[in-house]
Structures are given as C-alpha cells and as structure tokens.
Amino acid sequence: MSKFEKLIQKILNGKNVSYQDAEKILLSLDFELNIKGSHHVFRKAGYTKTISIKRRPLLINYQIVNLKEILKDHGH
C-alpha cells in the first residue's frame, strides 16, 4: 500500500488529519487552491462541491466529513 493510499485510509477511518495531508490529497485529485483570507478554498473544474479549510495543525470534524465526501465522489 502506497503512502497516498494509507493517507486516504486514514481519512476514511476518521483519524486526525493535518492541513498538509488534506492539501496533498486535494491537489493530487486536481483541485485548485484559492486563498481567501485565512481560508484555503479548493475547487475543481467540472465538480460542483468546494471545500474550504482554514490552515491549522489539524482539521475540524466537519472538514474531515467534507473531505470524506470528496474522496467517495472520486471513487475512494
């Protein structure tokens, strides 16, 4: 299992996720990063959902839920 796959499993299992890990995943799924103040907004052309993550050491629960939805929408 690659590091990327382990990271996806960590997220899907509801473990603590760092901002850096979330950013790696989203960028690898071809999301673009736009920074608006303290929030980092990830968008993808042709995909209707966006995810806004405030840069902090660990993601908040609702952000992990949003990240899980995106991963499931992308076949993970």
Could you read off the pLDDT of 28-56 as tens digits, one per residue? 999 999 998 888 999 999 999 999 998 88
What are the DSSP calls for 30-69, one per residue? T-EEEEETTEEEEEETTEEEEEEEE-SSB--HHHHHHHHH
- Asked whether 17 and 10 are in contact (CB, 8 A), the reply is yes
pLDDT at 38: 82
Residue-wise pLDDT for 61-72, tens only, equals 999 999 999 999
The fold for domain 3-73 equals Metal Transport, Frataxin; Chain A (3.30.920)
Q: Which two tokens stand for residue 50?
A: 């966006």
Q: Where are the domains of the chain?
A: 3-73
